[in-house]
């Protein structure tokens, strides 16, 4: 047994034949200058962006024509990720030459709905590689690398880069580290294992500015983000029968505060600490009127399963979905599902 196998039990979640096929397809794309769309999920977090940009940097250096993107327009990069290597190379969905796409790589998306405006690419005929670590992944691609025990999608991407013999420079390490540290909650979440800790150490050795990144990602909030947090906490509500604590912000709130989607993560991180909460929920209204819902669990309820009931997905303790209707209607539907899941 190799050191990699000892330190990375998540690798056994993957079909070795699928790993070989993905490596071969990525190598072929690099060798022949093929056009590869690398898609993060809508409302990308650090893991989605870090995984997409790491693949973009690595494959483009090898000769592929890579188009990093996600399925929303305009592309609004969260302030915390504005300086990530490769971020200036992002391509809007409307600028992607659909007829020229040779390969679509989806990173960190558990379902087709998370591709947003990029969903038509699935019908364009190009092979689709799905790289993800969400246990609720629906396997919507041609070949799948889904490792539910991987601490983050960047962990799987790092393994692919290793098999492609890509040298780990500071830019690649920075993208991977941002994904790792955000999805493990600064190595606090239950998914943090030896493999994640060892990868973090290796990335720091590669030159990652750990202190600066930590301050930017977790220690800095704009006045607008704090204003939105205050507005959400004014609406904090406890639903005793569901052990649910929820809060929300409207599209108007966000516009007035000048805060981006990333502010929702700051809100859920506070709401989840409520001592009476078994499940925490934060709703962020989009300009269309739909609600983007974030869920967190202390462990008794699998919110990944709950989110899947709303065509969303995620992990046992962190998940999300999008829903229509008033916020109260969404809460009522969620409470009903929570009671059903708990009863089951």
Where exactly are the structural domains of the chain?
3-217, 223-343
Q: Which residues of the chain have pLDDT under 50?
A: 1-6
* Fold held by 223-343: Diaminopimelate Epimerase; Chain A, domain 1 (3.10.310)
pLDDT value, residue 220: 77
For 92, other C-beta atoms within 10 Å of its C-beta total: 14
pLDDT value, residue 312: 86
What is the rounded distance in angstroms from the CA atom of residue 135 to the CA atom of residue 132?
9
Dihedral, CA of residue 272, residue 46, residue 36 and residue 19, to nearest 10: -70
User: What sign for the dihedral angle of Cα 267, 269, 274, 280?
Assistant: positive
pLDDT value, residue 260: 67
pLDDT value, residue 24: 98
CATH class assigned to 3-217: alpha beta
What is the rounded distance in angstroms from the CA atom of residue 150 to the CA atom of residue 194?
11
pLDDT value, residue 337: 95
pLDDT value, residue 186: 84
Q: What are the C-alpha distances in Å from 192 to residues 11, 108, 184, 186, 230?
A: 15, 17, 6, 9, 31
pLDDT value, residue 158: 97
Single pTM value for the model: 0.84
Per-chain mean pLDDT for the chain: 92
pLDDT value, residue 284: 93
């Amino acid at each position: 047994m190799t050191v990699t196998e000892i330190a990375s039990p998540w690798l056994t979640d993957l079909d070795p034949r699928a790993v070989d096929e993905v490596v071969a397809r990525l190598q072929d794309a690099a060798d022949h200058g093929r056009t590869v769309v690398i898609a993060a999920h809508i409302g990308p977090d650090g893991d989605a962006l870090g995984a997409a940009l790491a693949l973009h940097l690595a494959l483009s250096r090898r000769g592929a024509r890579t188009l990093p993107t996600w399925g929303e327009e305009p592309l609004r990069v969260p302030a915390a990720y504005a300086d990530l290597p490769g971020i200036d190379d992002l391509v809007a969905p409307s600028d992607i030459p659909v007829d020229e796409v040779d390969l679509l790589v989806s990173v960190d998306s558990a379902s087709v709905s998370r591709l947003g405006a990029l969903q038509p690419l699935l019908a364009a005929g190009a092979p689709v590689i799905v790289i993800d670590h969400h246990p609720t992944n629906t396997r919507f691609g041609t070949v799948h690398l889904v490792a539910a025990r991987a601490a983050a999608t960047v962990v799987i991407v790092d393994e692919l880069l290793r098999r492609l013999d890509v040298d780990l420079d500071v830019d690649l390490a920075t993208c991977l580290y941002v994904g790792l540290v955000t999805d493990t909650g600064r190595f606090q979440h239950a998914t943090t294992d030896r493999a994640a800790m060892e990868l973090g150490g290796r990335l720091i050795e590669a030159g990652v500015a750990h202190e600066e990144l930590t301050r930017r990602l977790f220690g800095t909030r704009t006045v607008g983000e704090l204003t939105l947090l205050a507005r959400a906490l004014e609406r904090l509500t406890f639903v005793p029968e569901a052990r649910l604590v929820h809060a929300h912000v409207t599209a108007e709130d966000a516009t007035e505060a000048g805060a981006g989607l990333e502010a929702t993560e700051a809100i859920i991180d506070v709401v989840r600490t409520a001592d009476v909460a078994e499940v925490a929920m934060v709703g962020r209204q989009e300009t269309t009127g739909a609600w983007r819902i974030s869920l967190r669990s202390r462990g008794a309820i699998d919110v990944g399963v709950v989110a899947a009931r709303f065509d969303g997905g995620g992990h046992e303790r962190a998940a999300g979905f999008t829903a229509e209707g008033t916020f109260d209607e969404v809460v009522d539907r969620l409470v009903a599902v929570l009671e059903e899941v708990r009863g089951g």
